[in-house]
Chain A
Amino acid sequence: MKWFTKLKDVVVPPEIEQLVDSMPHNLGSMGYDPWGYNPETAKVGLTVLKWMYDHYFRVEATGLENVPTNGRAFVIGNHSGQLPMDGTLIGTALATNPDGPRIPRAMIERFFPTVPFVYTFMTQCGATIGDPVNCIKMLENEEVVIVFPEGVRGSGKLYKERYELKRMGTGFVRIAIQTNSPIIPVGVVGCEETMPSFGNFKSLAKLIGTPYFPIAIPVILPAKVFLNFGEPIHLEGDPDNETQMMEKVDEVKEVLQELIDLGLEQRGERIFG
């Protein structure tokens, strides 16, 4: 669309243009991939997110050198903050990684495709619905996939439970083993404070068809965010052995907890500092 091209020309700085163009990608002749990713839309999205990343959340990211500059990887994080700010900030960190920018392929909640405009924009920026088929095919396509295995148990948790890792399913470790993809753990600190929730309005959530409805100040607070990317974890094992897979999940959770503790230590008292 002409207006979009004009908007893009006005708002997107050359460094973002260059970053997106340099990401490894596998596009068709019209500039789209099978999940709907389009670099031109992604440039606009990344411009906005980079500003929020630098100025609103003042993100400090370490360990980005652990993310491969080419080839498949599975970025696994702790989920928090009611809204998917953690996924957006991890995505921005991957897309602006000085060691080699990557398209952030975030797996998002299944109700999103029914939301007009929002889903289109998200898919054109690299996200897609959290489905094992999507995940496996993206990894086989040598992409970097972001997953929060706690799901809504993590994002919808109350402020009093902050930085407690909730139960994780075994799907992600099975996929990592099946596709021979390294897991890059990332500990997120700060997103719990972006929208502290003091309760869940379950009946309202049911009415509007969302997994939860937080009782919270309806504003995203400018908490400072720390992202610590850990070293790649290469898992091996039998995906059909449930006990073994649960042990692998515990291994990943242990590393994640260490990275969260590191972030809490880095942050100290600077919640909004």
Chain B
Amino acid sequence: MTTKQKPEILVTGAGGELAHHVIKKLRKKYDLIGVDFRKQSHYDDSMVNYRLDFSKRGFEEVFKHHQFEGVIHLGRIFLSHMDRYRRYNTNVLGTQKLFDFSIKYGVKKCIVLSTYHVYGAHPYNPSLLDESFPLKASNISAHLADAVELENLSAIYMVKHPQMKLTVLRPCNVIGPGVRNSMSQLLQRRIAPYLVGFSPVMQFLHVDDLAEAIVLAYAKSPNGVYNVAPNDWIPYPAALQQADCQLLPIPSLPPSLPRQVLKTMRLKDFPVYLMDYFKYPVILDGTLFRETFGFLPQFSLDDIFSYYAQQKV
């Protein structure tokens, strides 16, 4: 008796915390194949994993050995990690390769994880930005160009190759146990920096809620771009206090001073080029995603920050 094979999905960034949550939710219905280039990651041993850089030539072999129904592209280098040239190579050129192979080998759907950073933190930003709001991040810093370029690339493939459904998700700050992005690292600190006199409102999403959003998006897979954010808001210094962090004030006047201070301190999680995100709010309107996919986050802000507070006990 032959058992019916489950459809295969390629998950990039498979060694990351978000991928773990996504894999857990999808493994009953799908065969999941992981790809990640990181050496120190906790791979799921019960599935096939490839440790390789998807911007390199050998990546095509993965497509030759499997028949992917879809791709869930979570493998991005965080904005505060590595230099911008390396980020560009992996996040933009690597993604282009991924798209090309996906088209070549008949992948039907692709989910791309973007970030709210693409909107750019600007004093003129209104609140509740919807998906059609211009992406200003490249104007703020060349360090953010790869994030915007990734989106432009996705938009081009969306139009040029309608046979593959491409869904881009722009989540707000994603945090929670095991997450290693800059916001999560800041909340883990006992003493965390903030800019004196600035209290930008932010949105936070638990990593498991984002995984659920990805699963919902994969099931429907429409072409399009969606903000993923809860209807809940808190200023950054208040978030630090909820996570039981001591506030480390960084002077904000004159405007050139915080740049100098941050350059001197060389905080990996609070780099100078992300400074404006700690000054001006970038609040997303998540209505479209909520209404299209029936998404409702399960973790409250209290649940999320309690985890970080308990870590410090």
Contacts and interface: CB of A to CB of B under 8 A. Distances in A.
B201 interface: yes
A129 B252 contact: no
A132 B301 CA distance: 29
A29 B197 contact: no
B288 interface: no
Given A116-B252, A129-B126, 4 more contacts: A28-B233, A113-B123, A128-B126, A133-B129
A3 interface: no
Contacts of A30: 232-234, 238, 242, 301-302
Most-contacted residue by chain A among B127, B238, B253 (CB, 10 A): B127
SS class, residues of chain B in contact with chain A? loop
A32 B235 contact: yes
A164 B251 CA distance: 43
B235 A29 contact: no
Interface of B: 123-124, 126-129, 133, 195-199, 201, 231-235, 238, 241-242, 252-253, 255, 279-281, 283, 285, 300-302
A35 interface: yes
19 contacts: A28-B233, A29-B300, A30-B238, A30-B301, A32-B234, A32-B235, A110-B123, A111-B123, A114-B123, A116-B196, A116-B198, A120-B197, A123-B201, A129-B126, A131-B124, A133-B128, A134-B127, A137-B128, A137-B285
A123 B234 CA distance: 13
A178 B231 CA distance: 24
A178 to B, nearest CB: 15
- Dominant secondary structure of chain A at its interface with chain B: loop
B127 A34 contact: yes
Nearest to A30: B234
B229 to A, nearest CB: 10
B280 A113 contact: yes
Interface of A: 1, 28-30, 32-36, 110-111, 113-114, 116-117, 120, 123-124, 128-129, 131-134, 137
A111, A113, A123, A129 — most chain B CB neighbours (10 Å)? A113
Closest 7 CB pairs of A and B: A116-B197, A133-B126, A113-B123, A28-B232, A131-B126, A134-B126, A117-B197
A209 B124 CA distance: 15
A124 B196 CA distance: 16
Contact of A28 (B123, B129, B199, B234): B234
Given A36-B199, A116-B196, A28 B231 contact: yes
B244 to A, nearest CB: 14
B198 A34 contact: no
Contact of A116 (B133, B233, B253): B253
Contact of A1 (B126, B241, B300): B241
A194 B248 CA distance: 40
